[in-house]
Structure 1
């Protein structure tokens, strides 16, 4: 039997968000900074909420085991999480917030619409990461972000004038630039997990193109699902460690396999394309030429 749709509250403004969670009313209509230490007494709402807002949160000293995806998550240390508009949130009544510290920055997409940052938001992959892929901060990094948040808090509490939005957006862009830098550092230095993920990705890639029979073209989503991470996280991790994103790795493996087939079999160009998973051979020819400078036929001829 089909389950009835679950009720939820739609939060489309910063004031609706703060009201829903019992936070103080925002001074600025498009942005608010919440001191989480001052929210310890609040009872989280039971109704799930769909947020049409950007949220950046540093939560510390939560008690209880929190599971995200396939991992248990530890909020004792500095951990920064990012949420994009359109993500659902639901209270977890097993978590003790009696000693919570940290902060939460909430801002509406309208804050950015007339600025280049509005278009740039799509390049910050961490807003589409799965929750268990949050940013683990070193102490000095956390202190730096706290200072930026304090600047944003003070600015949004000032009377609004002709420069208010410019100042807020510029400070927000600095915050996101630092977050981007710190994520890059995490990919390189946090622990062997990212390098293990790279190894497992390469094994998956080699296994996929090692198949002898025809198979569909692999997608970024396919490998992300196989490795239990989000597509954005996988691409950013690969770019940080290798200089190439997931799609570029797939294309490179595809071209390498194509060269093997062109030089080591008697398959026609069309048959080679179908073997690799292309529905239309002309797409294969176009990709091969863009990566090698030669058409498949010219490449085969040049090797004779």
Structure 2
């Protein structure tokens, strides 16, 4: 990747972080649908081409134009098959939309909610209409209009309303190897919880039940698939990842133990101390000042 590309991506990330929103056109390349992955941004993609979309433990073969809704709490991946792939992508944070009670649409929408259907097959007429909406968002993003954020929120809600009028795609299939796929999305979701960037944003998913709910699976089914694939329980993997993060925070930040405990989902520092010692055999304070 050259310097110009690195600078462009850096500016793109900075703009997203500052404004909580970005929209752009995919020009003859499917890379934009799959290269940007942040755990705190929702995504709406209008794409034309041939691809395979893996969403939690389901897969969808798409050909033609589809409207895709990505929930940052549900792991997904996108395999572009056709050489020509065009469309639009809109990324936004929950905070960007959460300025009025309308934001409840995110949680209630059949596209973003857990267990929902995030893909719609779009006709040529519908594509033309949605293209116009995405282009309007791009134009507003570039404008100096003082209330452009409100206008963009209206466009996002318009897309959601238009989508709710349509029938969801019925071409989802269970992955051929359910064990490997479910295990893969569990680990992807696990990694999306890290790194912990601030004590003010504590770990959201802490138990096997939490992960099962986010993947719309029964916890016993998730545990069985992960244990078959790895030989370890879901709880063990979660604990190992929390401890790994705890060690990184202890060694590379100046946060106090109480802040680290809270950031990792422990109500009291004593709970964290006991948890850490039970798994590692030592106290968290012993790592303070330790070398990398």
Structure showing greater radius of gyration is 1
Give TM-score scaled by structure 1 length: 0.45
Structure number with higher strand proportion: 2
Give TM-score scaled by structure 2 length: 0.46
